[in-house]
Structure 1
Amino acid sequence: MNPTATALRAGWSRGLIELRQTLTNGGDLFNHFFWPVLMLATLFFLRDVSFEQSGFMLGALALPSILGMNAAMGMVTMSQILTADREDGTLLRAKATPHGMQGYLVGKVVSVSGGLLVDVAIFLIPALFLISGLSVGGPGPWLTLSWVLALGLVATLPLGAVLGSVFTSTRSQGLLTLPILAMIAISGIFYPIAALPEWVQWIAQGFPIYWLGLGMRSALLPGSAAAVEIDESWRHLETAGALGAWAVLGLLVAPVVLRRMARRESGSTVAERRERALRRVG
């Protein structure tokens, strides 16, 4: 039997088990509901606010953008999980198994992606009843939503694995949160990016969060809403190209970085990190 196929199958099974555990654990369920409920509260206050003289409601413009932001935040989740597993020795055990790192990575992609889809459903279903002005009739919008979401996950989750390999402690993950929040602030999530200075627009277009938000807006908003976007267009080709480029970069870099990180892991390094953690607690 092909060992790679065995590792992939094991990773798939592991991911489904981890996903099921998050959906039956009280603390994890709270985390699944907290962010979507918070975003729904934000939409509630934006639902009747108009963007300048365009006639479009900020709530309708923000809803699909928030979906894109949630997908992009998957790289933060991936980074945090990988760092925690590195710290407690889980990665060391995966390293000791033939093709264990490959199976581990597949499992994490499956569990994190599944959790994100649950979060999207928790947010999107009630939001469709809360916000008016969306264009969700027919299969077209849902097909666009599907390919943007799938490509966005492939573009961001490997980057999360790379970031998780860089950080050596869960305590240092706060260094990642602030830059991500800064990218969200300039990516047109809560306010159309066309209203921001041009140099900010160029920076935002260099990161996947903007393109995820744009792709989601193109799926759920009427065509006339493109008037408040850059070039007054949904730019589907550019969206696919930008997310595809990030996906290729992540898929090329992540395995190399993970292999190098795994080679540095040993029982002594895990024990040393555990001893440092105990000293901090003491």
Structure 2
Amino acid sequence: MNPTVMAWRAGWSRGVIELRQSLTNAGDLFNHFFWPVLMLGATFFMRDVSFGQSGFTLGALALPSILGMNAAMSMVSMSQQLTADREDGTLLRAKATPNGMIGYLTGKIISVSGGLVVDLAIFLVPGLFIISSLAVDDASSWLTLIWVLVLGLVATLPIGAVLGSVFVSARSQGLLQLPILAMIAISGIFYPITALPEWVQWIAQAFPVYWLGLGMRSALLPDSAVITEIGESWRHLETIGVLGAWAVLGLVLAPIVLRRMARGESGSSVAARREKALQRTG
């Protein structure tokens, strides 16, 4: 059998095992439920708050947007896990195995994507009972949701791998939080982006969070809700174009950055990071 195919199969098995472990571990289960439950609470309190004269509530507009935001945040999960594995030597062991990096990355893609689907289901299923005005009785809505989610993952997971290669320790991941929160704030997640200044709208449209939110809204909201969007259009072609551009950028950069990072990994570098971490905790 082709060694690369064997690496993919090993990575698939690794990813499924990691996902299963995360769904049977108390700490990981808490993490799976914490953010969706928190967002359900926010959606519940916005369910009766109207947005201007649109006839829609902020809860109805926010629920699909939050789905898109969570999908975009898969890049943060990928980055954090890759950095943690780099710090504890897991990446070094993968590097030492023939085609180990291929299997490792395949496993991470499976586990992060699977965990994201679980998180989205935890949020969406109860959300359908909280918000009754969603257009979920049409198969085309679910097909749109699926292609937006898949394209979004292709656009964000490689970027997450790049970020995970840049940061050398789990503590340094904190540097991501402020720009990520700023991106969310201007991307029309909790309030329609058309209410923001035009220059802010242009900045938001450069990043995947806005387009994933827009794509999810186009899937789950009735067509009449398009009046709250820029140009009163769901802009599917633009969504494909921007997310596709991010996907190409990530897929080009990720292998280059990961190879350079893997070449710099050694037993001494892992030991040095571990010693530094012990000094901080001591």
Q: TM-score range by the shorter chain?
A: over 0.9
Q: Give the match's secondary structure for 1:24.
A: coil
Which AA in structure 2 matches 1:65?
A: S
Counterpart in the other structure of 1:92: 92
Segments of structure 2 that go 5 or more residues without pairing to the other structure are none
Counterpart in the other structure of 1:202: 202
Counterpart in the other structure of 1:140: 140
Counterpart in the other structure of 2:26: 26
Q: How many Å separate the matches in 1 of 2:50 and 2:197?
A: 20
Q: How many Å separate the matches in 2 of 1:77 and 1:177?
A: 12
1:142-189 CA-to-partner distances (Å, cap 9, x unmatched) read 000000001001100110000000001111111001111110000000
Alpha-carbon offset, residue 236 of structure 1: 0.5
Q: How many Å separate the matches in 2 of 1:58 and 1:132?
A: 13
Q: How many Å separate the matches in 2 of 1:279 and 1:122?
A: 39
Q: How many Å separate the matches in 2 of 1:100 and 1:21?
A: 21
Which AA in structure 2 matches 1:245?
A: A
Counterpart in the other structure of 2:75: 75
Segments of structure 1 that go 5 or more residues without pairing to the other structure are none
Alpha-carbon offset, residue 70 of structure 1: 0.5
Counterpart in the other structure of 1:56: 56
Q: Please state if 1:105 is matched with 2:119.
A: no
Q: How many residues align?
A: 282
Q: Please state if 1:179 is matched with 2:184.
A: no
Counterpart in the other structure of 2:161: 161
Q: Give the match's secondary structure for 1:33.
A: helix
Q: Please state if 1:36 is matched with 2:16.
A: no
Alpha-carbon offset, residue 205 of structure 1: 0.3
Which AA in structure 2 matches 1:167?
A: F
Q: How many Å separate the matches in 1 of 2:244 and 2:224?
A: 26
Q: TM-score, normalised by structure 1?
A: 0.99
Which AA in structure 2 matches 1:156?
A: T
Q: Give the match's secondary structure for 1:213.
A: helix
Q: How many Å separate the matches in 1 of 2:179 and 2:280?
A: 27
Alpha-carbon offset, residue 133 of structure 1: 1.4
Q: How many Å separate the matches in 2 of 1:225 and 1:53?
A: 11
Q: How many Å separate the matches in 2 of 1:281 and 1:133?
A: 50
Alpha-carbon offset, residue 281 of structure 1: 1.7
Counterpart in the other structure of 2:114: 114
* Contact 1:76 1:177 (8 Å CA) reproduced: no
Q: Give the match's secondary structure for 2:184.
A: helix
Q: How many Å separate the matches in 1 of 2:160 and 2:110?
A: 14
Alpha-carbon offset, residue 57 of structure 1: 0.5
Counterpart in the other structure of 1:3: 3
Q: Alpha carbon RMSD of aligned pairs, Å?
A: 0.6
* Contact 1:88 1:270 (8 Å CA) reproduced: yes
* Contact 1:92 1:266 (8 Å CA) reproduced: yes
Counterpart in the other structure of 1:123: 123
* Contact 1:194 1:230 (8 Å CA) reproduced: yes
Alpha-carbon offset, residue 55 of structure 1: 1.4
The aligned runs of 1:190-269 (5 Å cut-off) are 190-269=190-269
Which AA in structure 2 matches 1:178?
A: L
Counterpart in the other structure of 1:281: 281
Which AA in structure 2 matches 1:274?
A: R
Q: How many Å separate the matches in 2 of 1:228 and 1:138?
A: 21
Q: How many Å separate the matches in 1 of 2:132 and 2:58?
A: 11
Q: How many Å separate the matches in 2 of 1:123 and 1:148?
A: 17
Q: How many Å separate the matches in 1 of 2:116 and 2:132?
A: 24
Q: How many Å separate the matches in 2 of 1:102 and 1:178?
A: 31
Q: TM-score, normalised by structure 2?
A: 0.99
Identical positions, percent: 80
After superposing on structure 2, the runs of 4+ consecutive aligned residues of structure 1 that deviate more than 3 Å are: none
